[in-house]
Protein backbone atom coordinates (compact mmCIF):
# COMPACT_ATOMS: atom_id res chain seq x y z
CA UNK A 1 0.00 0.00 0.00
CA UNK A 2 1.45 3.35 -1.11
CA UNK A 3 0.80 6.27 1.26
CA UNK A 4 1.50 9.89 0.30
CA UNK A 5 1.73 12.24 3.26
CA UNK A 6 1.94 16.01 2.85
CA UNK A 7 2.32 19.07 5.03
CA UNK A 8 3.09 22.75 4.57
CA UNK A 9 6.07 25.03 4.99
CA UNK A 10 5.80 27.89 7.49
CA UNK A 11 3.29 30.58 6.54
CA UNK A 12 2.47 34.18 7.37
CA UNK A 13 4.17 35.22 10.63
CA UNK A 14 5.21 31.71 11.69
CA UNK A 15 8.87 30.67 11.62
CA UNK A 16 7.97 26.98 11.71
CA UNK A 17 5.00 24.80 10.84
CA UNK A 18 4.34 21.90 13.17
CA UNK A 19 2.71 19.93 10.35
CA UNK A 20 6.02 19.96 8.45
CA UNK A 21 7.92 18.87 11.56
CA UNK A 22 5.47 16.03 12.28
CA UNK A 23 5.63 14.70 8.71
CA UNK A 24 9.43 14.81 8.73
CA UNK A 25 9.42 12.79 11.99
CA UNK A 26 6.94 10.12 10.91
CA UNK A 27 8.48 6.69 10.47
CA UNK A 28 6.80 3.54 9.28
CA UNK A 29 7.63 0.26 7.61
CA UNK A 30 5.38 1.34 4.76
CA UNK A 31 7.92 3.98 3.66
CA UNK A 32 5.73 7.01 3.22
CA UNK A 33 6.07 9.35 0.28
CA UNK A 34 6.55 12.67 2.09
CA UNK A 35 5.79 16.00 0.42
CA UNK A 36 6.24 19.46 1.94
CA UNK A 37 4.16 21.99 0.01
CA UNK A 38 5.09 25.63 -0.56
CA UNK A 39 2.65 28.29 0.56
CA UNK A 40 1.12 29.02 -2.85
CA UNK A 41 -2.38 28.89 -4.30
CA UNK A 42 -1.57 26.49 -7.13
CA UNK A 43 -3.26 23.12 -7.52
CA UNK A 44 -0.42 21.69 -9.59
CA UNK A 45 2.00 21.15 -6.69
CA UNK A 46 -0.03 18.48 -4.95
CA UNK A 47 -1.76 17.12 -8.07
CA UNK A 48 1.59 16.53 -9.81
CA UNK A 49 2.76 14.47 -6.81
CA UNK A 50 -0.45 12.44 -6.85
CA UNK A 51 -0.14 11.78 -10.59
CA UNK A 52 3.53 10.83 -10.24
CA UNK A 53 3.20 8.47 -7.26
CA UNK A 54 -0.38 7.18 -7.71
CA UNK A 55 -0.87 6.56 -3.98
CA UNK A 56 -3.54 4.31 -2.49
CA UNK A 57 -3.90 6.68 0.46
CA UNK A 58 -3.22 10.40 0.89
CA UNK A 59 -3.01 12.01 4.32
CA UNK A 60 -2.63 15.76 4.63
CA UNK A 61 -1.33 17.55 7.70
CA UNK A 62 -1.81 21.20 8.55
CA UNK A 63 -1.24 23.60 11.43
CA UNK A 64 -4.22 24.85 13.41
CA UNK A 65 -4.90 27.37 16.16
CA UNK A 66 -6.86 24.83 18.22
CA UNK A 67 -5.83 22.88 21.31
CA UNK A 68 -6.59 19.32 20.14
CA UNK A 69 -5.44 17.36 17.12
CA UNK A 70 -8.35 17.35 14.67
CA UNK A 71 -9.43 14.89 12.01
CA UNK A 72 -11.07 16.97 9.30
CA UNK A 73 -14.10 15.41 7.63
CA UNK A 74 -15.07 17.95 4.96
CA UNK A 75 -13.71 20.56 2.58
CA UNK A 76 -15.60 23.66 1.44
CA UNK A 77 -15.54 25.13 -2.05
CA UNK A 78 -14.02 28.37 -0.76
CA UNK A 79 -10.61 29.65 0.27
CA UNK A 80 -9.29 32.92 1.55
CA UNK A 81 -6.29 34.57 -0.02
CA UNK A 82 -4.16 37.22 1.57
CA UNK A 83 -5.91 40.54 1.93
CA UNK A 84 -7.26 42.45 -0.03
CA UNK A 85 -8.48 39.67 -2.33
CA UNK A 86 -10.57 37.95 0.33
CA UNK A 87 -12.61 34.77 -0.06
CA UNK A 88 -12.75 33.01 -3.42
CA UNK A 89 -14.58 30.00 -4.81
CA UNK A 90 -12.21 27.13 -5.63
CA UNK A 91 -14.30 25.66 -8.46
CA UNK A 92 -17.33 27.64 -9.72
CA UNK A 93 -18.86 24.46 -11.16
CA UNK A 94 -17.94 22.19 -8.24
CA UNK A 95 -20.03 21.05 -5.28
CA UNK A 96 -20.15 23.21 -2.15
CA UNK A 97 -18.67 20.42 -0.02
CA UNK A 98 -16.61 17.26 -0.31
CA UNK A 99 -16.33 14.73 2.49
CA UNK A 100 -13.20 12.71 3.15
CA UNK A 101 -13.35 9.07 2.12
CA UNK A 102 -10.86 7.70 4.65
CA UNK A 103 -12.33 7.81 8.12
CA UNK A 104 -9.45 7.64 10.56
CA UNK A 105 -10.31 5.90 13.81
CA UNK A 106 -10.81 8.50 16.55
CA UNK A 107 -8.54 8.03 19.52
CA UNK A 108 -8.51 9.78 22.92
CA UNK A 109 -7.38 13.40 22.72
CA UNK A 110 -8.33 13.74 19.06
CA UNK A 111 -11.42 15.59 17.87
CA UNK A 112 -13.52 15.26 14.72
CA UNK A 113 -13.97 18.53 12.83
CA UNK A 114 -16.17 19.63 9.94
CA UNK A 115 -14.39 22.94 9.38
CA UNK A 116 -10.88 22.87 7.90
CA UNK A 117 -10.82 26.66 7.74
CA UNK A 118 -10.56 28.78 4.60
CA UNK A 119 -6.83 28.67 3.96
CA UNK A 120 -4.50 26.19 2.23
CA UNK A 121 -5.52 23.18 4.34
CA UNK A 122 -9.09 23.44 3.07
CA UNK A 123 -7.92 24.33 -0.45
CA UNK A 124 -5.74 21.22 -0.79
CA UNK A 125 -8.46 19.04 0.72
CA UNK A 126 -11.01 20.28 -1.79
CA UNK A 127 -8.63 20.02 -4.76
CA UNK A 128 -7.57 16.47 -3.86
CA UNK A 129 -11.11 15.21 -3.23
CA UNK A 130 -12.26 16.84 -6.47
CA UNK A 131 -9.41 15.19 -8.39
CA UNK A 132 -10.19 11.77 -6.86
CA UNK A 133 -13.84 12.11 -7.88
CA UNK A 134 -13.25 13.47 -11.39
CA UNK A 135 -10.56 10.87 -12.17
CA UNK A 136 -12.70 8.10 -10.63
CA UNK A 137 -9.80 6.99 -8.42
CA UNK A 138 -9.97 4.51 -5.55
CA UNK A 139 -7.52 6.66 -3.60
CA UNK A 140 -8.57 7.29 0.00
CA UNK A 141 -7.94 10.65 1.65
CA UNK A 142 -7.84 12.10 5.17
CA UNK A 143 -6.62 15.34 6.71
CA UNK A 144 -5.24 16.00 10.19
CA UNK A 145 -4.82 19.39 11.86
CA UNK A 146 -2.10 19.73 14.51
CA UNK A 147 -2.29 22.68 16.95
CA UNK A 148 0.62 25.07 16.43
CA UNK A 149 1.78 24.86 20.07
CA UNK A 150 1.32 21.10 20.45
CA UNK A 151 4.25 19.05 21.75
CA UNK A 152 6.07 17.73 18.66
CA UNK A 153 6.91 14.33 20.15
CA UNK A 154 3.31 13.78 21.25
CA UNK A 155 1.90 15.05 17.92
CA UNK A 156 4.16 12.64 16.02
CA UNK A 157 3.16 9.73 18.27
CA UNK A 158 -0.59 10.45 17.89
CA UNK A 159 -0.22 10.90 14.12
CA UNK A 160 1.63 7.59 13.80
CA UNK A 161 -1.11 5.87 15.79
CA UNK A 162 -3.82 7.34 13.55
CA UNK A 163 -1.96 6.11 10.46
CA UNK A 164 -1.21 2.70 11.97
CA UNK A 165 -4.95 2.14 12.48
CA UNK A 166 -5.66 2.42 8.74
CA UNK A 167 -6.96 -0.86 7.43
CA UNK A 168 -5.26 -2.12 4.24
The single residue of 80, 121, 135, 161 carrying the catalytic annotation is 121
pTM for this model (two decimals): 0.91
Per-residue pLDDT of the chain (168 residues; tens, 9 = 90+): 899 999 998 876 768 889 999 999 988 666 789 988 877 767 788 899 999 999 999 999 999 988 999 999 999 999 886 655 667 899 999 999 999 999 788 788 899 999 998 888 999 999 999 999 999 999 999 999 999 999 999 999 999 989 888 755
CATH of domain 3-164: 3.40.630.20
121 part of the active site = yes
Q: For residue 1, how many other CB atoms are within 10 A of its CB?
A: 10
The single residue of 20, 21, 53, 72 carrying the catalytic annotation is 72
145 part of the active site = yes
Tell me, what's the pLDDT at 81? 67
The single residue of 20, 135, 145, 161 carrying the catalytic annotation is 145
In angstroms, rounded to a whole number, what is the distance separating the alpha carbons of residues 6 and 88?
23
Helix (H) and strand (E) counts in the chain: 4, 10
Amino acid sequence: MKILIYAFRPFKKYKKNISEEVVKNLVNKRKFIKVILPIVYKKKYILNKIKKHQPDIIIGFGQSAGKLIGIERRAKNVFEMERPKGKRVIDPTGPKLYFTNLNLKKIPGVRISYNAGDYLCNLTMYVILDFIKKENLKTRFAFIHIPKNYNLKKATKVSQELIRNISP
